[in-house]
Chains A and B, each alone.
Chain A
Amino acid sequence: MNLDQALISGHGITLPQAFSTGGETAVIGMGIVFSVLIILMIVLNLFKVIFYREKKAEPAAAVTEPIPAVQPAAEEENEEELIAVITAAIAASLNTSTYNLNIKSIRRVSPGRPAWNRAGLNETINNRF
């Protein structure tokens, strides 16, 4: 862009200059921001077409199954036991029966604090004993 020296130094800008340069930059700038993000939106819509359909077959089975059943069928004995325990714990904390609950999925969340932080906390707790 070719700009008047006044617009670069900031000394002696006139009002029409401010509006015309500012307006021009604003239009170009918003145009570029929108075009980048619109392209990303198109890409994301393609994602949905490419990746989502093939997934639909699997989750459909996985989702419908747990709804009638109280707990999803788990492959391992241990896991089933764990799900039962978690269901019971939720039921107890909600003051209701496990029959009123539909556990659709249980996900392990990563611990919120870093390892050093956790170690420090454990140490502090142990020191207070």
Chain B
Amino acid sequence: MIESFANFLGNTGAAALFQNGGPDAIKTIIMLAIACVLLYLAIVKKYEPLLLLPIAFGMLLSNLPMIKDSSAIMMHTEWFTDTQYMIDGHINVGMIAREGGLLDLLYLGVKLGIYPPLIFVGIGCMTDFGPLIANPKSILLGAAAQFGVFFTFIGALVISALVPSIAWGVKEAASIGIIGGADGPTAIYVTKSLAPSLLPAIAVAAYSYMALIPIIQPPFMKLLTTKKARGVVMDQLRPVSKTEKIIFPIVVTLVVAFIIPDAVSLVGCLMLGNLLKESGVCDRLVDTAQNALMNIVTIFLGITVGATATASSFLSASTLGIVALGLVAFIFSTCGGLLLGDLMYVLTKGKVNPLIGSAGVSAVPMAARVSQSVGQKENPSNFLLMHAMGPNVAGVIGSAVAAGVFLSMFNGM
């Protein structure tokens, strides 16, 4: 009786907390505290709560103190990152399926690259490419706003060269840079392939800064544009026929596939969703893809990405560096879009409002809304929203292409 009670005590989480001594216990407590702070940001501050809340709770679940090798462990991050658990450098799917906890099994969907493309199907169903088709030159703003991605790539390599405690190679640098694409699923898709140990930090940075776009962007928008240019009222967009909207996703998939096949799993799924919507003959599938499917995948994605945040990988100088560089990436992407917007303003002799350039970072539709609200401050009767949606959806294609560039260059190295 007493023996079994003692046994029970030895198996409690409180006992497990101290099994590896004091320093580890403190790290665990810090991780739990970080999870609670993120929960606070998600619930009270409403920073992208649909993702940040599952991420934060996943972090909480995987950092709960557990006795070593207990069957209650939901997530074994080391199985996915440590080569000693792998077969020839590949994850041991058989072992994970037999012995893994719930989160291990769900994480396979991230590791095998299933969730981000599925989310893109849902995003495609909700995206209207009409403004882009009506104003083709706005697609270039979506390309210019990927500048932050590549600038941050250089920045990450430089930091790696300067700071001895940070060892980022090209793969890590690419994963950090892609934060500047301001597109959560794309960032996760690149990072799980190139630098899986950085996944939680990059996901948290990407989603937090996306929520902060209305605070990050406006100062730079005012800095890089003139008062006169901000007040420009753009011509109304031409009507776009249904035929064009149906052909567009097919053409984009073909063009992207011929140039950069590594981007097809993201762009192809985005365009599949869009074609489902524009065809008008798959209403039931559209309903499922943009609601049920997307919500289910979001829960799985959020909770497992959060669960990969272990004390050893998350509590390091590298996480601080990622948070700092993520901000740099967002700022430079914004500036890239704005500068091309300024150039277009000059070349078209004042027909393009440069404010729509900052919407080239993908975060749909937040970035376009920021362009709208900054433009309206200058000229209350100005409606830039639809004009900004063009670069905005182009940014989604642009960052998926940038992701494909990184994957084709560095994957498998």
B-binding residues in A (CB < 8 A): 1, 3, 6-11, 13-15, 17-19, 21-23, 25-26, 28-30, 32-41, 43-45, 47-48, 51-52, 55, 59, 114-115
The smallest C-beta distance from B351 to any residue of chain A, in angstroms, reads: 16
**B255 & A36 in contact (Cβ 8 Å cutoff):** yes
Once A26-B151, A40-B397, A44-B133 are accepted as A-B contacts, the answer to whether A15 and B161 lie under 8 Å apart by CB is: yes
**B406 & A13 in contact (Cβ 8 Å cutoff):** no
A34 to B340, CA, bound (A): 12
**B172 & A18 in contact (Cβ 8 Å cutoff):** no
B143 nearest in chain A by CB position: A37
**A22 & B397 in contact (Cβ 8 Å cutoff):** no
**B255 & A43 in contact (Cβ 8 Å cutoff):** yes
Residues of chain B lying within 8 A (CB to CB) of residue A25: 150, 153-154, 170, 409
A55 to B134, CA, bound (A): 14
Stretch at the interface among B72-80, B98-106, B245-253, B377-385: B245-253
A63 to B35, CA, bound (A): 57
Within 8 A of A (CB), among B166-197: 166-173
**A15 & B150 in contact (Cβ 8 Å cutoff):** no
Residues of chain A lying within 8 A (CB to CB) of residue B406: 29
The smallest C-beta distance from B45 to any residue of chain A, in angstroms, reads: 25
Residues of chain A lying within 8 A (CB to CB) of residue B244: 47, 51
Partner of B161, one of A14, A34, A41: A14
Q: Does B201 contact A (CB under 8 A)?
A: no
Within 8 A of A (CB), among B72-113: none
Residues of chain A lying within 8 A (CB to CB) of residue B10: none
Q: Does B142 contact A (CB under 8 A)?
A: yes
A-binding residues in B (CB < 8 A): 132-133, 136-137, 139-140, 142-143, 146-147, 149-151, 153-155, 157-158, 160-162, 166-173, 238-239, 241, 243-244, 247-248, 251-252, 255-256, 259-260, 287, 291, 394, 397-398, 401-402, 405-406, 409, 413
The smallest C-beta distance from B149 to any residue of chain A, in angstroms, reads: 7
**B140 & A37 in contact (Cβ 8 Å cutoff):** yes
Chosen A-B contacts, 29 in total, with CB atoms closer than 8 Å, are A8-B169, A8-B170, A9-B169, A15-B158, A17-B157, A17-B161, A18-B157, A21-B157, A21-B170, A28-B405, A29-B146, A29-B149, A30-B143, A32-B260, A33-B143, A33-B146, A33-B401, A33-B405, A34-B143, A36-B143, A36-B397, A36-B401, A37-B394, A37-B398, A40-B139, A47-B133, A51-B243, A55-B239, A115-B287
Once A41-B139, A55-B239, A114-B287 are accepted as A-B contacts, the answer to whether A3 and B153 lie under 8 Å apart by CB is: no
A9 nearest in chain B by CB position: B169
Residues of chain B lying within 8 A (CB to CB) of residue A26: 150-151, 153-154
Residue in A8, A29, A33, A47 with the greatest tally of chain B CB atoms within 10 Å: A33
The smallest C-beta distance from A34 to any residue of chain B, in angstroms, reads: 5
A21 to B394, CA, bound (A): 27
